[in-house]
Structure 1
Amino acid sequence: MDRVFKLPSTTFIGGKEKSLPLREILKRLEGAYCGHIGVEFMFINSLEQCNWIRQKMETPGIMEMNNDDKRLILARLTRATGFEAFLARKWSSEKRFGLEGCEILIPAMKQVIDKSTELGVESIVMGMPHRGRLNVLANVCRKPLNQIFTQFAALEAADDGSGDVKYHLGTYIERLNRVTNKNIRLAVVANPSHLEAADPVVQGKTRAEQFYRGDGEGKKVMSILLHGDAAFCGQGVVFETMHLSDLPDYTTHGTIHIVVNNQIGFTTDPRHSRSSPYCTDVARVVNAPIFHVNSDDPEAVMHVCKIAAEWRSTFHKDVVIDLVCYRRNGHNEIDEPMFTQPLMYRKIRATPPGLDIYANKLIAEGVVSQEEVKDVKDKYEKICEEAYVNARQETHIKYKDWLDSPWSGFFEGKDPLKASPTGIKEDTLVHIGKKFSSPPPNAAEFVIHKGIERILKARMEMIESRQVDWALGEAMAFGSLLKEGIHVRLSGQDVERGTFSHRHHVLHHQTVDKATYRPLCYLYPDQAPYTVCNSSLSEFGVLGFELGYSMTNPNALVCWEAQFGDFNNTAQCIIDQFISSGQAKWVRQSGLVMLQPHGLEGMGPEHSSARLERFLQMSADDPDYFPPESEEFAVRQLHDINWIVANCSTPANYFHILRRQIALPFRKPLIMMTPKSLLRHPEARSSFDLMTEDTSFLRIIPEEGIAAQNPGNVKRVLFCSGKVYYDLKKARGERGLDDKIAISRVEQVRDI
């Protein structure tokens, strides 16, 4: 136990090499040790899981590999190294955030994919930061090399949009996995510079794919998340995303996390960037096993990746692989790391590449010859050269080649400027309203709260008088879409009841724990499923999750509701980087609805404003362009903008705008300022006549009272939106100015 082992994760810190006795390593890792692998798992409170890991790590001869597997590692490592070397030669002054120092990531990911495919996985959604993205696209996803090389040329885009740098783009590939001879779908989600912001988006997309495939246990669809060491412990959204991992309506049934541990963040060493011993310590909160492995030992890495895939398949829980490596260059290829890390980089300069270390090892073992090693290198070099020649023939960049969520057939055969009607038959409104307003079928056995009884009775009275309030209008929009086969998902903090106790989409048995009834799930025998789920107390993570969910299928209404409108402050990164600009950067559309309770109701500044002005400032707006007048004018405005911002004043308009999200021939995010006082305002009611066939969303509601009947007497016209209308109307009446002041409501605040 006294032999010395160099702990990889602290070898280069501060330029001083640290050597620790094995007993100290085991004490730090709280787990098992095998060769160049350390495993943390003793904090896991399941004896079955701990014993499972011990068996995988401590069985004699468990890491032995045959020569064919060793040659496969060498070939994959050669491709990973060769790709970076080729880019370095052809574009020496370009930033590409290469993988030099951790080329083993490519064989590692391929090992995870091979084993997962063998265990039944058919689709994998991946998220990752800049470093190594081009190599992953080329050698893991097998994206055509000429498409990647085209990104280095200063070409104009053939598609609409501003475009993004090459190491932010995503992709979607369907291909045959030659190792398992099974088809696999691979998607890499596009992401901005905010390093871990893509994590919840990946999880939402994965969950959606599992849902639409009926994959309730995550056996066919899974996610892989790549992280940098500094971001993994430094970015709070990692923690938020981790805490979604076991929640019933958010779990993806296990994610494989791979940390590319550079042992440095940009120019900051770990002593200044984290307070815990390991960058992976955040994973302990969800009892995920953590495998620390020396990246210069490819066979140890492959063993860990195989175990990680098997763990995920067996227990359907998260697992972390900490690839302890280094970054041969600075933050990017034109950065100088010696400015701040001279001793560390002097040691790195003297360290031979991982490929050379492993090739020499296999040559010494007699597994391959020097000629075979060179032959593998030369073959891949030739492949790159041919792709380079082909790339030079291109004249435009096609951003549609980089879509991470293609919607097969959605846009085909549609008039891009014609929306389907949103009004529905009165019989449908009555049916949905009565179902929504009725107690559970087994009402004699299902004890509901007395307050709920009064609410249901009041709703039934509204149905009989052919009137709806805000909650009933929303339920009718959801229910009518469910009837048409459109999946509806409502997610956020306390959305089941509603922050203001107005919704009550989930009724709770008052004497039996976990016994619930969801009326909108039982409207029709052949309806689409309805998901309403209270989220964790997270905005950044959950909004990102719902965005990812909305990207997967355009024929679904996905809504995220903030507990209060101004709570979107904490989710601003998702709003800025994905929702506002996603289509311009990545040609990615989303029909996500953001519901944000908004309005000054005497509760102070913290619970009053959804920051409407911010959304208006972030709207795509060309003041010099006005679409030509035509029948398609209204839809053309929506087509050309980046999102729709609305502040409705009537339940009927709210009903129509929700249904219009699906009726449009394209998808745009809807930023919806929802009311608080209007939820129960006696005048904020709508007649069925405003929701039936031949009715639609009203962008502006003109004056409808006395002033409209005699416009010649009108002295002033006021424009307003939302709840302010009812305040102005009341003040006008109190002053006896009903015939002199006209009030028009702007319901869609920004649409061009």
Structure 2
Amino acid sequence: ARPTSILSDKLGRSYSSKTDITDPFDSHFLNSITLENIKSSIRPWIIKRVDKCIFRELTFQEQAAVFNRLLMVHCFELFLYSKYLSAKRSMFDCEVVLPALCSLIDRSLINGAKSFVIGLSQLSQLSALSKLVKESEVEIFRELLQSRNDLLFDDLREDGSCLILDEDMVSDFIEPSDKTQPYSLSLLGPPAPASAVYPLMMGRAKALQSLDKGEGSDSVWSVFCYPLADICSQDSFTNIVNILEEPGFSAGGTIHVIINCEHDGLDEESKYSIESSSKLIKLLADKIKAPVIHVKAEEVHSVMYVMNLVSDFRANHKRDIVVNLMGGSQSRPHKNVALAGFIKEFLIGGKDPLVTVYSKELISNKVISKWELDDRKETYLKKLVKDHANPKVVSVKKKSPVLEKRVKEPLTGINTETMCQMVTLLDTFQVMKNTASGSKGSCAKETSDSDATVPFSLKPALESGVFGNRLDWESCASLAYATLLHEGYNVQVCRSALGPASSIDDPRILVPDSLNCPGHFKLQETPVSPFAMAGLQIGYSTTGDNILAVWEVPEEMEPSILHDITSKYFSLGKLEEQLEINVVFIVPCYFKVPGTEKSRLYVSSQPSQVLEVCEDCDILTGFNDQLYNCNVVVSSVSTPANLFHLLRRHARSPIPKPLIVFVPNASDGTSRIDELTGDTCFHPYIGDASIFESNVKNVILSTGRIHRQLSEERSHRSLEHKIALGRLEQICPFPYNNLIQDMERFPQARIWWAQEEEADDGCWNYVESRLLGLFGEERIVRFPGHYLPSSFHSPLSVSERVASIYDVILDS
């Protein structure tokens, strides 16, 4: 026999259990609500809530607010059906989701929330509606929130008689927080998959909390509302668990609303019953150590109570909580059935919409009348039709392309005196580190053809004007962070806890005491999956103009993961329109092959796959116009100084765009200090300044560190005055202007493209069409490499590949 709870005797209600257990709070039913995972630490709070009999009927005003929102969502669907007659399935899978989220926000505002970051699967439906009425998804959602105040003045009844609400009653119903407390709302969802939306949501919520130093997690709430099918696929389950297991990524409690409805699109064998699917949700709750509340989606009052309950729980305990919104989905109309007009809503799939069932209940209870129902419905539909026929005119200042002979890069150099002070602190730090570890030398080395190393000097030769000191890759990156912190930018660097550690964990130590350092630096070292890490950094980068979010991609990652990340995060045009992504991915040119540590086998990062998602402007424009017309900036820098300027240019850019920069795996190559100071900047293209003859017959273009090997091989063959070398430091947007100007020096030269990878792995496929578009009819553009499938590669074989490139050019 199932046990009876003591609380059920107090309330005069009967509880039922899924299993024969002694503790009614581990698993019990209360009407249409089921509680599970109620741990001892939160059990007294639950008991207190139940003892206060909060399981109560909604007031007439609350029922009117729920009805208004359900009716508005229903009108959304009818309007969409009228425009998309071939719809195969219901536009909104679960009608109660949006009204439930509105109730959650209402309650959370009372609990002190000021900002909401919501991962919403129904954002795609709102986006479809947004295109028709010319309003943003957030504006539509805000209208849905405000519809709670569209009270039914004429037919609200308490005792069967007509009741007219006065202003005082309306004022009591509208919470003070609605009238005086502003709040912000961020919606994330399709076309991004659920596996990408959750990290984005958590990253954005954490960043907003860090900016709100006074209240933090009390004011910024994260809500994740997605169907169970999406959570169980596409690595969403793994991402959620891995992120929440890391204390540094906790957002003070996330409310998970899981839409657990049957989907007609699934085969009969793959359909989950409500019971079996609830077990999967229970498993998720166990993994994230959160209580779970099961509630029937058709029980409107129960759903609204649960939204109030989870809001209070999150406000009091700052922990995650899971809501299992159970219910069968609406029957879908046949794909060839056209719904004419707005009068056939009762024929959709042969099943009444939820608002119809709920309105019948309200009419029978004399809360509303049939006349009020029809009037309110007609009002909402007329507004949608009016907005569609007369869209809002949004004045957008279109930029006219400014044709320039050469793109003018913004200056990003640093004051010489400031840089020398930072360099002195950098070398002092490295000397102390080496002394402590028992090692000799310095991280910054001067390299020559004989690979000799020169210790880094502590006293730059200011009086000479030419610095003999040289900086390596890590030093230039650390100096870029330090200078940005000095200028007031907030820098967050994320790296895998399993990867190699950087030499400097906090660049603030490079800022002299005499200089102000208003910026904040945060280093995250975590073992979460790369996909989740990328999403967290992207979400963090969308919260302000003075933020630089950097993800140091580990060498141990597989290239396919990088391609999956770029395709799912950066090929989403709508996402870039909603959010200003200002993230930086620092990617090694080669990834280590697992299990080959002794043989040092590497595989190419295959930038060709990354460049497939890139779009740029194919006209000759200025710097800002180029950024405005691209979705991702992709670079492959060959010098540490260019990396320094690229990071600073990206942080200070007025047009935020994602940046993917490929850097050499080895720490070879250095830059002079004077390349970082004064009127210096990032160079998207670097021509061959050592050649002035116009009769050069061959020009080799390349990107990345292969330029160094090309230059050494050219010197070895004494071809300095016969073959010119050019470097594309920025691949997307393509530096058309700079390249055209440099090629004007060599009108008779053939153009060759050199890369370390095979043809299909490197940048050749992306660069070829652009080079042919510029020089195809006048020049010969060739690739002297191999058209072979990708294979394992060792950086030690680069010299052999470069030699073969020269052999092909000289034999042609």
What is the TM-score normalised by the length of structure 1?
0.75
With over 3 angstroms needed to count, the CA separation of the structure-2 counterparts of 1:460 and 1:54, relative to structure 1, is farther
How far is the alpha carbon of 1:301 from its aligned partner?
1.4
1:309 is matched with which residue? 311
How far is the alpha carbon of 1:519 from its aligned partner?
3.1
In the aligned structure 2, how far is the partner of 1:440 from the partner of 1:742? 38
Q: How does 1:159-308 map to 2 (within 5 A)?
A: 178-179=174-175, 180-181=177-178, 182-189=181-188, 191-192=190-191, 194-214=193-213, 217-245=216-244, 247-264=246-263, 266-268=265-267, 271=270, 278-280=279-281, 281-308=283-310
How far is the alpha carbon of 1:479 from its aligned partner?
1.0
1:504 is matched with which residue? 503
Aligned residue type for 2:655: F
How far is the alpha carbon of 1:294 from its aligned partner?
0.9
In the aligned structure 2, how far is the partner of 1:719 from the partner of 1:85? 55
Give 1:656's match in structure 2, choosing from 627, 641, 645. Answer: 645
CA contact (8 A) 1:74 1:359 kept: no
Q: SS where residue 38 of structure 1 aligns? A: strand
Q: SS where residue 24 of structure 1 aligns? A: coil
Q: SS where residue 217 of structure 2 aligns? A: coil
Q: SS where residue 214 of structure 1 aligns? A: coil
CA contact (8 A) 2:563 2:610 kept: no
Give 2:103's match in structure 1, choosing from 108, 111, 131. Answer: 111
Q: SS where residue 48 of structure 1 aligns? A: coil
1:67 is matched with which residue? 59
How far is the alpha carbon of 1:476 from its aligned partner?
1.1
How far is the alpha carbon of 1:537 from its aligned partner?
3.2
Give 1:537's match in structure 2, choosing from 528, 532, 536. Answer: 528
1:468 is matched with which residue? 471
1:682-717 CA-partner distances (Å, limit 9, x unpaired): xx111111111111112233335xxx2674896643
1:379 is matched with which residue? 376
1:364-406 CA-partner distances (Å, limit 9, x unpaired): 6x4x3452x641452243133134124202398x698xxxxxx
CA contact (8 A) 1:84 1:100 kept: no
CA contact (8 A) 2:79 2:384 kept: no
1:354 is matched with which residue? 354
With over 3 angstroms needed to count, the CA separation of the structure-2 counterparts of 1:571 and 1:702, relative to structure 1, is closer
How far is the alpha carbon of 1:587 from its aligned partner?
6.1
2:35 is matched with which residue? 39
With over 3 angstroms needed to count, the CA separation of the structure-2 counterparts of 1:150 and 1:487, relative to structure 1, is closer
How far is the alpha carbon of 1:661 from its aligned partner?
0.8
Aligned residue type for 2:30: C
Give 1:611's match in structure 2, choosing from 603, 606, 611. Answer: 606
CA contact (8 A) 2:18 2:28 kept: no
1:489 is matched with which residue? 492
How far is the alpha carbon of 1:640 from its aligned partner?
2.8
CA contact (8 A) 1:487 1:529 kept: yes
With over 3 angstroms needed to count, the CA separation of the structure-2 counterparts of 1:81 and 1:528, relative to structure 1, is closer
In the aligned structure 2, how far is the partner of 1:713 from the partner of 1:85? 69
CA contact (8 A) 2:210 2:216 kept: no
1:585-606 CA-partner distances (Å, limit 9, x unpaired): 7365422211101148896897
1:7 is matched with which residue? none
2:729 is matched with which residue? 747
1:729 is matched with which residue? 711
In the aligned structure 1, how far is the partner of 2:522 from the partner of 2:203? 14
Aligned residue type for 1:48: S
Aligned residue type for 1:125: V
CA contact (8 A) 1:39 1:289 kept: yes
With over 3 angstroms needed to count, the CA separation of the structure-2 counterparts of 1:102 and 1:738, relative to structure 1, is closer
With over 3 angstroms needed to count, the CA separation of the structure-2 counterparts of 1:206 and 1:452, relative to structure 1, is farther
CA contact (8 A) 2:422 2:512 kept: no
With over 3 angstroms needed to count, the CA separation of the structure-2 counterparts of 1:335 and 1:654, relative to structure 1, is farther
Gaps of 5+ in 2: 5-14, 149-173, 338-347, 446-454, 461-467, 735-812
Q: How does 1:364-513 map to 2 (within 5 A)?
A: 366=365, 368-369=366-367, 371=369, 374-394=371-391, 420-439=410-429, 450=437, 455=442, 461=457, 464=460, 465-494=468-497, 499-501=499-501, 503-506=502-505
1:102 is matched with which residue? 94
1:701 pairs with 2:681: no
Aligned residue type for 1:288: A
In the aligned structure 2, how far is the partner of 1:152 from the partner of 1:453? 68
In the aligned structure 1, how far is the partner of 2:236 from the partner of 2:395? 28
How far is the alpha carbon of 1:32 from its aligned partner?
3.3
CA contact (8 A) 2:259 2:325 kept: yes
Aligned residue type for 2:32: H
1:294-330 CA-partner distances (Å, limit 9, x unpaired): 1122222122211211221122222111110222133
How far is the alpha carbon of 1:24 from its aligned partner?
3.1
2:784 is matched with which residue? none
1:334 is matched with which residue? 335
1:49 is matched with which residue? 42
1:686 pairs with 2:671: yes
CA contact (8 A) 1:229 1:264 kept: no
Aligned residue type for 2:379: K
How far is the alpha carbon of 1:550 from its aligned partner?
1.7
How far is the alpha carbon of 1:31 from its aligned partner?
2.5
With over 3 angstroms needed to count, the CA separation of the structure-2 counterparts of 1:106 and 1:714, relative to structure 1, is closer
Aligned residues: 654
In the aligned structure 2, how far is the partner of 1:560 from the partner of 1:393? 45
Aligned residue type for 2:229: A
Gaps of 5+ in 1: 5-19, 138-147, 158-165, 337-347, 401-408, 508-516
Q: SS where residue 727 of structure 2 aligns? A: strand
With over 3 angstroms needed to count, the CA separation of the structure-2 counterparts of 1:415 and 1:254, relative to structure 1, is farther
Aligned residue type for 2:354: G
How far is the alpha carbon of 1:738 from its aligned partner?
4.7
1:118-150 CA-partner distances (Å, limit 9, x unpaired): 11111111121137843xx8xxxxxxxxxx756
1:665 pairs with 2:668: no
Aligned residue type for 2:732: R
Higher-Rg structure is 2
CA contact (8 A) 1:423 1:696 kept: yes
How far is the alpha carbon of 1:248 from its aligned partner?
4.3
In the aligned structure 2, how far is the partner of 1:172 from the partner of 1:734? 67
What is the TM-score normalised by the length of structure 2?
0.70
Percent identical: 20
In the aligned structure 2, how far is the partner of 1:265 from the partner of 1:89? 19
Of structures 1 and 2, the one with the larger relative CO (CA 8 A, separation 6+) is: 1
CA contact (8 A) 1:656 1:697 kept: yes
Aligned residue type for 2:656: R
Give 1:151's match in structure 2, choosing from 96, 120, 131. Answer: 131
